[in-house]
Amino acid sequence: MLDTLFMFRGRLRRLHYLAACCVLSLVVGCIIAGGFWIMRPPPGSGQVMRAGTTLLILAIPMLPSFWIGFSIQAARIRDIGWNPAILIAASLAIQAAAYLVPLLMPEGTTVEIIAKVAKAANIAYGLGLLFLPSNFHVPDSPSFDEQPTPTRPERVEASPARRLPSRSGATFGRRGL
């Protein structure tokens, strides 16, 4: 059981994806909480944490975590058998539309509809990544040796080309001098 749980081979199955997301969230949360704890103003000083400090504490661990998160999603999408570039780009486009539409049209039913569609798409995307079966079979053996390559059929050799007699007796290579 543990052998199949920890075999990676460049693919993320459902359990691997869930574990990777949980570990990433836990590590990033601890880093952010530690950053806020380290950068807090001294008690009784009357100072408050400024916006620049807060942004710095949030931005430093979040930028690498976005990259790691997209890499984890791309590995899982590839494992399902889909194209990660298209699916992640579509997900980002839906998110961008969900945030930009309220800025352009502050009120109305269109904003509510787009927000509901974006939430439904996010839920479907997350559940799809968690529950769709893999399109890749990881063998049960834990060895990382190279798999044997399939044998090729015998080569067919052509008969050598007929050489033309040279005009003079001395030759250099294929051409006579």
Contact call for residues 17 and 133 (beta carbons, < 8 A) = no
**pLDDT profile of the chain (177 residues), mean per 10:** 49 78 88 83 75 81 86 85 88 89 81 89 90 67 56 68 63 56
CB atoms within 10 A of CB 73: 21
How far is it, in rounded angstroms, from Cα 49 to Cα 74? Answer: 37
The helix (H) or strand (E) run that includes residue 129 is helix 109-131
Whole-model pTM above 0.75?
Answer: no
pLDDT of amino acid 155: 67
Are the CB atoms for 97 and 114 separated by under 8 Å? Answer: yes
- Phi, psi at 135, each rounded to 5°: -100, 10
pLDDT of residue 2: 44
Number of other CB atoms surrounding residue 144 within 10 Å: 8
pLDDT score for 54? 81
CA-CA distance, 117 to 35, in Å (whole number)?
35
CA 118 – CA 91 distance, rounded (Å): 9
**Strands (E) located in the chain:** 171-172, 175-176
Q: What is the pLDDT of residue 146?
A: 57
**Cα–Cα distance measured from residue 98 to residue 80, given in angstroms and rounded to the nearest whole number:** 26
